[in-house]
């Protein structure tokens, strides 16, 4: 058989299911009809009763899988540059192979690609009898999720360079015959010996991909890799910290608010207690939870099927032990917790970003319902009140007028009265049960300091006023603006003021940041608000931005000058690693943490 230079070998693994084989084969035919590379199919059948005859197939009958037989079977694929290894039954949509080849260009020719992936979380050695648990020790990523680096691929559908397979064979390392283990072992060899990164790629263009099972990582395998200290940050999660011990903070929430703090945003249910310990080891005392994980961090407190406040209360009381358990874990490491919500009962702010959030602004009933939710939560947490730094009522409210506004557009104050009514009612509901825990209210336009005039001070000395600072997003969130990708943007520097007219630009430097935040200071002076009642609830920038370290440094300097509290966004967010500063400025690094100056420039100011 003459094989073109750019040919791809398909190793179609089957246990004899002819319907599954047929489905995959038929979908691959569409690849051949387009300008795709030549596709050559090898049917690797481990349980075939007889030879399966189909034009275009080469059939190999074996008692072992392809990877388990790699040493003896590599000769079958040496004529190809790449191979796709997949289970029979996977259905390819048109042009899928072309799409994946583009991913190979992006991540490098040697990088193995997989449509499913597993990431291990940092944690200390398992205790005797302790089992690996999904969500605690590891996490699975499915084929519909965005591209990301992972530790393990799966053999359901993956893409290899044949040169990498040749390197693996030279390692003289036997891959177990167990099909459940082969993906783990091949990933270990790739990461530990070849020092290559496995990429899980987004592949919504394939069907019949199974979910990774809860027992995906056998104990014996995990024990082996832990013994050889791979991956390094999994087995020694504090290796970059000078001080691994945790000093439990004796400061009360009241004292912290009085004297000042810098802290972080992080998930309420992190990968393991290691994340809380690491935060404390950096000197952090205050964490804000509820705005992480794509703004779904604490959405388990809400029942989307609930129609009224009685249903909201019943559901909240049902899941309350889960929340308390997480708060107590944080408290055990000396961390105080600010609770916020991105969605509220009956008011899905972040679950419906694509449409204006009118249900909150147009309905006084919905606003009262949301306010009473906070009252129930405060009543329910009164027994652990000493752990609670504050109730941040809405993380980043936005009005229908804010939905399509540009960053430099004027901010509407049309819904100021409705916002004040909600904050007043929520404060009253909380104070029925808790007389002094700080209540935090936030500006609209996604908590922009430019919307500070939307806030009317409340008649309570234990209310804090909050804004978030990311501006301008053209610079701090470059991946969200396709029209600016071709421009070289950095801090300090200039950014286009408008999306459709990139010629008009605005200088972004220390003076610009100061001017933007000075509007908050002037509002504070106007209403005689103490500096220790102003909170920067979130601030940050994507870590790949040129000058990101200076951007963070300048902002902390301004917060310090105004004597405000602040909370960096973010710390170890599994869904948004673009602001996971321990990973450094290289966006392709999603796994290896370290003492990067990008994080330490802020961490040295925790107090």
Encoding tokens for residue 65?
A: 């899988």
Domains annotated on the chain, with CATH: 8-235 (3.90.550.10), 253-480+508-603 (3.20.20.80)
At residue 290, what are phi and psi to the nearest 5 degrees?
Answer: 115, -10
Residue 141, beta-bridge partner list: 117
Tens digits of per-residue pLDDT, 487-526? Answer: 678 999 998 887 777 788 899 999 999 999 999 999 999 9
Kindly report the average pLDDT of the chain as a whole number.
87
Buried b (16+ CB within 10 A) or exposed e, 248-279: ebeeebeebbeeebbbbbbbbbbbbebbbbbb
Share of the chain above pLDDT 90, in %: 53
| pLDDT for position 2 | 45
Q: Are 582 and 572 in contact (CB under 8 A)?
A: yes
- Identify which of 166, 230, 140, 234 has the alpha carbon closest to the alpha carbon of residue 192: 230
DSSP summary character for residue 189: I
219: confidence class by pLDDT, cuts 50, 70, 90: confident
- Mean pLDDT value across residues 356-378: 91
pLDDT tens for each residue of 232-268: 777 777 666 655 445 555 578 999 999 999 999 999 8
Section 194-203 average pLDDT: 94
Q: Which residue has better confidence, 95 or 344?
A: 344
Q: What is the pLDDT of residue 523?
A: 98
Please tell me the predicted confidence (pLDDT) of residue 601: 95
Specify the pLDDT at position 177.
77
How is 398-448 classified by DSSP, letter by letter?
Answer: --TTTTT--TTSPPP-TTHHHHHHHHHHHHHHHHTT-SSS-EEEE-HHHH-
Residues facing 466 on adjacent strands: 442, 535
Angle at 44 between CA 46 and CA 153, to 5 degrees: 95
Task: Give pLDDT, residue 4.
Answer: 47
How many helices (H) and strands (E) are present in the chain, helices listed first?
A: 18, 23
Residue 478 has pLDDT above 80, yes or no: no
Quick one: pLDDT at residue 484? 62
Encode pLDDT of 267-326 as tens digits: 988 656 788 888 998 999 999 999 988 778 899 999 989 999 999 999 999 999 999 999
Any idea which of 117-121, 351-355, 450-454, 559-563 has the lowest mean pLDDT? 351-355
Query: 339: Cβ–Cβ under 8 A, 6 or more apart, which residues?
Result: 289, 290, 298, 377, 388, 390, 391, 392
Tens-digit pLDDT profile for residues 115-125: 999 999 877 77
Do 341 and 301 contact (CB within 8 A), yes or no? yes
Q: What is the pLDDT of residues 147-174, one digit of tens each?
A: 999 999 999 999 999 999 999 999 988 8
- Per-residue pLDDT of 521-550, as tens digits, reads 999 999 999 999 999 999 999 999 999 999
pLDDT at 225: 87
**Cα 452–chain centre separation:** 29
Secondary structure letter of residue 533 according to DSSP? G
């Amino acid at each position: 058989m003459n094989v073109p230079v750019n040919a791809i070998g398909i190793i179609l693994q089957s246990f004899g299911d002819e319907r599954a084989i047929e489905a995959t084969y038929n979908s691959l035919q569409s690849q051949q009809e387009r300008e795709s590379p030549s596709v050559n199919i090898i049917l690797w059948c481990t349980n075939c009763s007889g030879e399966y005859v189909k034009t275009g197939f080469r059939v190999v009958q074996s008692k072992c899988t392809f990877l388990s037989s790699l040493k003896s079977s590599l000769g079958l694929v040496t004529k190809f540059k790449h191979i796709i290894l997949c289970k029979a039954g996977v259905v390819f949509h048109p042009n899928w192979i072309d799409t994946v080849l583009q991913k190979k260009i992006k991540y490098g020719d040697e990088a193995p690609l997989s449509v499913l992936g597993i990431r291990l979380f940092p944690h200390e050695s398992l205790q005797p009898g302790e089992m690996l648990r999904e969500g605690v020790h590891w996490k699975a990523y499915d084929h519909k999720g965005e591209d990301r680096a992972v530790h393990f691929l799966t053999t359901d559908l993956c893409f290899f360079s044949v040169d990498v397979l040749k390197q693996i064979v030279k390692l003289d390392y036997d891959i177990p015959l167990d099909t459940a283990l082969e993906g783990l072992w091949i990933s270990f060899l790739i990461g530990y010996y070849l020092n290559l990164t496995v990429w899980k790629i987004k592949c919504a263009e394939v069907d019949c991909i199974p979910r990774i099972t809860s027992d995906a990582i056998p104990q014996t395998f995990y024990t082996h890799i832990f013994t050889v200290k791979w991956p390094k940050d999994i087995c020694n999660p504090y290796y970059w910290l000078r001080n691994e011990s945790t000093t439990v903070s004796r400061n009360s929430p009241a004292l912290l608010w009085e004297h000042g703090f810098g802290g972080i945003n992080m998930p309420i249910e992190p990968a393991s207690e290691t994340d809380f310990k690491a935060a404390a080891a950096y000197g952090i005392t205050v964490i804000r939870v509820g705005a992480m994980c794509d703004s779904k961090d604490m959405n388990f407190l809400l029942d989307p099927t609930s129609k009224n406040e009685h249903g909201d209360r019943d559901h909240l009381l049902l899941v309350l032990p889960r929340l308390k358990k997480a708060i107590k874990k944080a408290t055990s490491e000396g961390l105080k917790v600010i609770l916020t919500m991105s969605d509220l009962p009956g008011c899905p702010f972040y679950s419906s970003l694509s449409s204006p959030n009118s249900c909150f602004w147009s309905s006084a009933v919905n606003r009262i319902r949301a306010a009473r939710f906070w009252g129930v939560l405060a009543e329910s947490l009164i027994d652990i009140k000493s752990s609670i730094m504050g109730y941040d009522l809405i993380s980043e409210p936005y009005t229908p007028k804010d939905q399509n506004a540009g960053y430099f557009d004027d901010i509407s104050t049309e819904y100021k009265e409705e916002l004040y009514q909600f904050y007043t009612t929520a404060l009253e509901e909380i104070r029925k049960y808790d007389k002094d825990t700080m209540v935090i209210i936030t500006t609209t336009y996604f908590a922009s300091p430019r919307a500070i005039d939307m806030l009317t001070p409340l008649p309570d000395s234990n209310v804090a006023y909050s804004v978030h600072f990311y501006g301008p997003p053209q610079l701090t969130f470059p991946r969200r603006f396709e029209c600016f990708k071709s421009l070289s943007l950095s801090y300090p520097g200039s950014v286009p003021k408008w999306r459709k007219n990139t010629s008009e630009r605005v200088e972004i430097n220390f003076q610009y940041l100061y001017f933007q935040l000075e509007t908050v200071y002037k509002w504070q002076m106007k209403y005689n608000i103490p500096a220790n009642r102003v909170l920067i609830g979130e601030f940050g920038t994507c870590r790949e931005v040129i000058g990101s370290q200076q951007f963070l440094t300048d902002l902390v300097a301004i917060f310090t000058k105004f004597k405000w509290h602040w909370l960096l966004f973010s710390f170890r967010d599994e869904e948004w690693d673009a602001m996971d500063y321990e990973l450094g400025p290289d966006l392709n690094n999603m796994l290896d943490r370290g003492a990067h100056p990008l994080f330490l420039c802020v961490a040295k100011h925790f107090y």
